[in-house]
Amino acid sequence: MKLFIDSANVEQIKKINNDYPVDGVTTNPSLIAKENRSLFPLIKEIRNIIGETKLLFVQTISVDSESIVNEALRIWEILNRNVIIKIPVTVEGIRAIGILKKHGVKTLATTVYTPMNAYIAAKAGADFVAPYVNRIENLNGNGTQVIKEIRQIFSNTKFSSEIISASFKNVQQIKAVSLSGSDGITVNPQLIEKFLEIPSIKEDVQQFNLDWETVRDEVDSN
Ligand code: E4P
């Protein structure tokens, strides 16, 4: 299962990319806006940090399909065709995904709330779909169940689109989708760091070191 950093902050991306086995970075307009920087210099800096082989996702903000396609093609060319374009699953977005498929542009359908959102996006040609787990749960939905159903539909229909689950507020949600057939997860840096934040690990390591200290001289001299 792939792991992405859900952030546009270069310091956070540098740290997590260095410390953890991540597959790339997902951004969205809200994350970019927080950085208060121009889009392309920021995105290029993120590309430099993660290198050429990891995946980088950039979202369009246009509303009608023609503008979405033009915006996507611009991002695609400026990033040397090494970027995946995120497009919300509006009617216009779905049309744009279909057109971009014919141009050979890779897309991720975002703001996915239901299995049928994912179905229609995959059928239009999206390479990835991003169900919004926490936002689904804020609407009293069951994020994990949505992932399971998307997985089932993709298996039944033999779609090759990958499910990149997104929008998490806790590690329990992440574990639940990981057990439910998600191909990948995109997680904010603070939550990624929580994966290893178990006090017992630190205590165990301290105890191992203490125990080792008591015999080290003896072992070293043999
Ligand atoms: C990912 O690409 C999504 O845009 C993101 O995970 C949404 O997360 P949020 O619901 O925490 O804003």
Protein residue with least CA distance to atom 8, ligand 1:
167
Q: What is the pLDDT of residue 109?
A: 98
Give the pLDDT mean for 39-48: 98
Q: What is the pLDDT of residue 222?
A: 63
Q: Which atom of ligand 1 is nearest to the CA of 168?
A: 11
Protein residue with least CA distance to atom 10, ligand 1:
167
Rounded to two decimals, the pTM is 0.95
119 close to 151: Cβ distance less than 8 angstroms: no
Give the pLDDT mean for 116-141: 98
pLDDT tens for each residue of 152-198 = 999 999 999 999 999 999 999 999 999 999 999 999 999 999 999 99
Annotation says 86 is catalytic: yes
Domain ranges, ordered by start, for the chain: 2-197
Answer whether residue 216 shows pLDDT above 80. no
Task: Identify the CATH assignment for 2-197 out of 2.60.120.460, 3.20.20.60, 3.20.20.70, 3.20.20.150.
Answer: 3.20.20.70
Q: What is the pLDDT of residue 215?
A: 86
Cα-to-chain-centroid distance, residue 33: 18
Answer whether residue 221 shows pLDDT above 90. no
Burial classification of residue 169, based on how many CB atoms lie within 10 Å of its CB (0-12 exposed, 13-18 middle, 19 or more buried): middle
65 close to 92: Cβ distance less than 8 angstroms: yes
pLDDT tens for each residue of 58-105 = 999 999 999 999 999 999 999 999 999 999 999 999 999 999 999 999
Q: What is the pLDDT of residue 218?
A: 72
- Please tell me the distance from the alpha carbon of residue 212 to that of residue 217, in angstroms, as a whole number: 9
Ligand 1 pocket member 130 (CB < 6 A):
yes
Catalytic residue (one of 2, 14, 34, 86): 86
Q: What is the mean pLDDT of the chain?
A: 97
Protein residue with least CA distance to atom 11, ligand 1:
167
Q: Which residue has the tokens 């141009």?
A: 103
Ligand 1 midpoint to CA 152 (Å): 23
CA torsion 188→191→195→197, rounded to 10°?
140
Give the pLDDT mean for 136-146: 98
Percent of the chain with pLDDT over 70: 98
Residue to probe by mutation, ligand 1, list 9, 107, 132, most atoms within 8 Å of CB:
132
Alpha helices per DSSP H over 20-161: 29-35, 39-50, 65-78, 91-103, 115-124, 133-138, 143-157
Ligand 1 pocket member 128 (CB < 6 A):
no
- The one-character DSSP state at 64 is S
